[in-house]
Structure 1
Amino acid sequence: MAKKKAKAEKADEKVGGTDIISQLHPNIVIDILSRLPFNTLFSCRCVCKTWLHLLVDPSFAQLYRARANPCIILQPRNKNRQQHLYAVHFDNRNYVRNSRVKFATETHLGMGCNVKLRLLDSCNGLILLGEMYRYQRQNLVKLDQLYVCNPITGEFVIVRPGFNLTSSAMCPCLGFCPKSQVYKVVLLSKKKLVAEVNNNMVTLVYTLGEKGNGLWKSVNVGDGLLDQPKNTTFLNGIIHWVVRSHTVPQFIYSFDVEDECFRLVPPPPEFVSPDRTTWSKWGINLGVLEGRLAIVERAKGDFWCFHIWVMKDYGVQASWTKTYTMDFMMGKVKLKHYSSISQILGLCRNGDILFTHHRRNLVSFNPVNPSFKIHKIDKLCNFLMHPYIPNLSSLRDIARGEPLFNATLR
């Protein structure tokens, strides 16, 4: 009788569509889901409508971003695989997982084989893509048509500046405003535009979801401020970059995406001393560690040693602290090139620092037991890469009012 009763209860559960997990409080379910690797979350979307609604809520994306191990999105530079984007995550032991999201820009965005797209930036789960063309043996990006895409949902919107610009003239970025909860496409000037009467540099800003209000906004920068921005870093609604001009002692500049204003960010006091040369600034890159702005610099007189400074209290110069020192000559792993670290990608749960080196190696550094580990991703090398946290929210809710396109389903 007991066996028959158990079978009957199971049958009732199947008919009613209930189980133990579905009876849990939504907050408990969210807490469980926020600790899963993102490739598992894709399957969780299909469990039931309740889970789907929890996963696409913007608040879940914020919680997941705070808890998840570093994720990255990359685009190979070799011609045969350039049309594919790979989203890769790390597990708690800091291994690259074999399962990944593979997003083909050629087929999924319906551009056709004649249109090549380049990964330009990533912010809060959205990515910015631009059309590539070849000019005088150089691969440039035309900025007269940009694509803001959510590679998880396969949705994208097309953003058109309305005039021809190239990546050689502008630095394209994607930003998010924490207060107003909107995304903006930002084109930072790399040089003076001929069209400007006063010959000042300008930055162009487009707000997603405000297409009816107007297009692009021009923000005046002033003479000599930007000085070839590149390798930008986004943190708490602010885009940061390094100015490497010898005439600029305060070399960290920022653009607040919310109020659209430029500001200086004070570097460590040691960085503005007279013995600091312009050349030393070329060995400096920015990143984010544990939600704080970080600087990685090559040690003076040592090509194989790097220091990482962390700004504990944002905007306070005295809060800069030299937190880590990485010597590439230590440990069993030997990196072949001594060029600067390309980008800091984040801090793993186990305390390892994840970064790219020479744009060819994805490396993690263990500061407790000083050692390095090179991570292989499908034998890829020479790639474009950005920090990435999946966002399961629909682009329809993010870019309200924008013409929305659906990519081919994966």
Structure 2
Amino acid sequence: MTKKKAKAVKEDEKVGGTDIISKLHPNIVTDILSRLPFNTVLSCRCVCKTWLHLLVDPSFAQLYQTRAHPCIILQPTYRRRNQHLYAVHFDNRNRVRKSSTRIKFATKTHLCMGCNVKLSLLDSCNGLILLGSHYHYHDFVKLDQLFVCNPITGEFVIIKHKPGINLTFSNACLCLGFCPKTQVYKVVLLFKQKYGVEVSNSMPTHVYTLGVKGNGLWKSVNVGDDVLCQPTDTIFLNGIIHWVVRSASVPQFIYSFDVEDECFRPVPPPPEFVSPEQTTRSRWTISLGVLEGCLAIGECAKDAYFHIWVMKDYGVQASWTKAYTMGFTMEKIKLLSPISQILGLGHNGDILFSLMHRNLVSFNPANSSFKFHRIENLCNFNNVLSYIPNFSSLRDIARGEPLFNATLR
């Protein structure tokens, strides 16, 4: 290469190069980037100013969410005070790929935490996560402040719980919901009814609307008959929060909360579940999830098999279909722990789920095989949730709320 050509190449490199990608129309580049894993997209922000401008545009965030990549977010078990959350994606072969980006909540400056305060991952919805700071008080773990955070941007808002309410992990269930129609996020506080106590219709439920529409205040909502007894492992789908009611005194065992109209409604279970014996048993042996945009039920049956039912047409009881059956002893793998949650489908069609919120397992329907997934340097975790990356800024989502930034590492 002559000196003249070498100089020309260097000049091209300064202005972004003469490669094919640099000559593509911005819309084509945006389309390509929207198909990449989120951690690759984060790295692409540093390629050049042109790409950065494309990736911070709100239209990219909207496009990326329509092409949701299977991800999970988890909270490792740490004894030290430094706390991180990890977002994990899976490649086309369903291999675990831990994101190099982690969110660090370690300093008093960022989250105003005392030395004895820790954070818990409570819920995930449409790319945002709900965190709660807690501390030990006698025999209780008390909840203090709540945080709604976007792990991709590192932005978060602080939400103080309703004054005069004593929150603990044993008496409250906190959920994060999103209304597709109004594009508003809401934090929902469901109080748990104690076992052995008659269900009260006056059990309080409170909703906090994120942004200026909520005026920074919690409001109470009306509760129907017998809907809040022991809500656990909530699932969000199409603007509705779902959970299983464990109490046998409640007629239905799957209930929902519509984020838009703030009303409670029962969800009809599969017809095979309507017998008294099956209904009573199912309260303790099922878990909820979302598969391919449909509500799903995982059932630990008496025959040592795990069945997954999918509601093809939401709200229609007859549309429940037994889509998958897994043997607990396939390939000498014994799933002795109950399945905590169905986390979704991988790129290759494998079903991903968690065991006791501590192990990641996938099931391949094609060959009926199980695979345990281990994440590098993460032996145990406290909680794991399905997660959809969201590149939107909280500044646009939570207008009017004081905005803070976590530390990205």
Report the TM-score when normalising by structure 2. Answer: 0.89
**What is the CA distance between 1:123 and its match in structure 2?**
1.3
User: 1:369 aligned to 2:367?
Assistant: yes
- In 1: Cα distance, 2:113 partner to 2:48 partner: 33
Q: Answer whether contact 1:202 1:222 (CA < 8 A) is retained.
A: no
Amino acid at match of 2:388: I
Amino acid at match of 2:268: P
- In 2: Cα distance, 1:13 partner to 1:49 partner: 15
Q: Say which of 338, 341, 344 aligns to 2:339.
A: 341
Change (3 A) 1:311 1:123: same
- In 2: Cα distance, 1:3 partner to 1:101 partner: 42
The residue that corresponds to 1:121 in the other structure is 123
- In 1: Cα distance, 2:82 partner to 2:334 partner: 28
The residue that corresponds to 2:313 in the other structure is 313
**What is the CA distance between 1:244 and its match in structure 2?**
2.3
CA RMSD of aligned residues (A): 2.5
The residue that corresponds to 1:389 in the other structure is 388
The residue that corresponds to 1:165 in the other structure is 166
The residue that corresponds to 2:193 in the other structure is 191
Deviations 1:104-128 (A, max 9, x none): 2223646354321111111122111
**What is the CA distance between 1:57 and its match in structure 2?**
4.1
Deviations 1:9-32 (A, max 9, x none): 534533544643233223322221
Amino acid at match of 1:154: G
- In 1: Cα distance, 2:26 partner to 2:206 partner: 42
Change (3 A) 1:211 1:62: closer
- In 2: Cα distance, 1:212 partner to 1:390 partner: 25
Q: Answer whether contact 1:110 1:407 (CA < 8 A) is retained.
A: no
Q: Answer whether contact 1:110 1:408 (CA < 8 A) is retained.
A: no
The residue that corresponds to 2:353 in the other structure is 355
The residue that corresponds to 1:195 in the other structure is none
Change (3 A) 1:353 1:59: farther
**What is the CA distance between 1:288 and its match in structure 2?**
0.4
User: 1:274 aligned to 2:273?
Assistant: no
Structure 1 runs of 4+ aligned residues shifted over 4 Å read 2-9
Q: Answer whether contact 1:204 1:216 (CA < 8 A) is retained.
A: yes
The residue that corresponds to 2:260 in the other structure is 258
**What is the CA distance between 1:249 and its match in structure 2?**
3.8
**What is the CA distance between 1:308 and its match in structure 2?**
0.1
Deviations 1:129-155 (A, max 9, x none): 1111113444x241x521111222221
Amino acid at match of 1:55: L
- What does 1:207-218 align with in structure 2 at a 5 Å threshold? 207-210=209-212, 213=215, 215-218=217-220
**What is the CA distance between 1:53 and its match in structure 2?**
3.7
Amino acid at match of 1:209: G
Look up the SS of the partner of 1:153 in the other structure: coil
User: Structure 1 residues 56-65 or 366-375, which shifts more?
Assistant: 56-65
The residue that corresponds to 1:87 in the other structure is 87
Deviations 1:324-383 (A, max 9, x none): 001120125334x2x321001110110100000133210000010110000112242252
- In 1: Cα distance, 2:219 partner to 2:114 partner: 31
Amino acid at match of 1:388: Y
- In 1: Cα distance, 2:396 partner to 2:372 partner: 39
User: Structure 1 residues 107-116 or 123-132, which shifts more?
Assistant: 107-116
* Structure 1, unaligned runs of 5 or more: 193-197
**What is the CA distance between 1:389 and its match in structure 2?**
1.9
Q: Answer whether contact 1:145 1:159 (CA < 8 A) is retained.
A: yes
Change (3 A) 1:110 1:56: farther
User: Structure 1 residues 316-325 or 73-82, which shifts more?
Assistant: 73-82
Amino acid at match of 2:180: P
Deviations 1:143-176 (A, max 9, x none): x521111222221111113413313332111111
Deviations 1:197-234 (A, max 9, x none): x9602321111112673511210103422111110000
Change (3 A) 1:5 1:45: same
- What does 1:41-80 align with in structure 2 at a 5 Å threshold? 41-80=41-80
Aligned length: 398
- In 2: Cα distance, 1:284 partner to 1:258 partner: 27
Q: Answer whether contact 1:332 1:371 (CA < 8 A) is retained.
A: no
- In 2: Cα distance, 1:409 partner to 1:277 partner: 46
Amino acid at match of 2:47: V
Q: Answer whether contact 1:34 1:68 (CA < 8 A) is retained.
A: no
- What does 1:202-241 align with in structure 2 at a 5 Å threshold? 202-210=204-212, 213=215, 215-241=217-243
- What does 1:10-21 align with in structure 2 at a 5 Å threshold? 10-17=9-16, 19=18, 20-21=20-21
User: Structure 1 residues 392-401 or 231-240, which shifts more?
Assistant: 392-401
* Structure 2, unaligned runs of 5 or more: 195-199
Look up the SS of the partner of 1:232 in the other structure: strand
Amino acid at match of 2:166: L
Paired-residue identity, %: 71
Look up the SS of the partner of 2:273 in the other structure: helix
Change (3 A) 1:380 1:200: same
Report the TM-score when normalising by structure 1. Answer: 0.89
**What is the CA distance between 1:59 and its match in structure 2?**
4.6
**What is the CA distance between 1:56 and its match in structure 2?**
3.4
- In 2: Cα distance, 1:259 partner to 1:50 partner: 42
The residue that corresponds to 2:156 in the other structure is 156
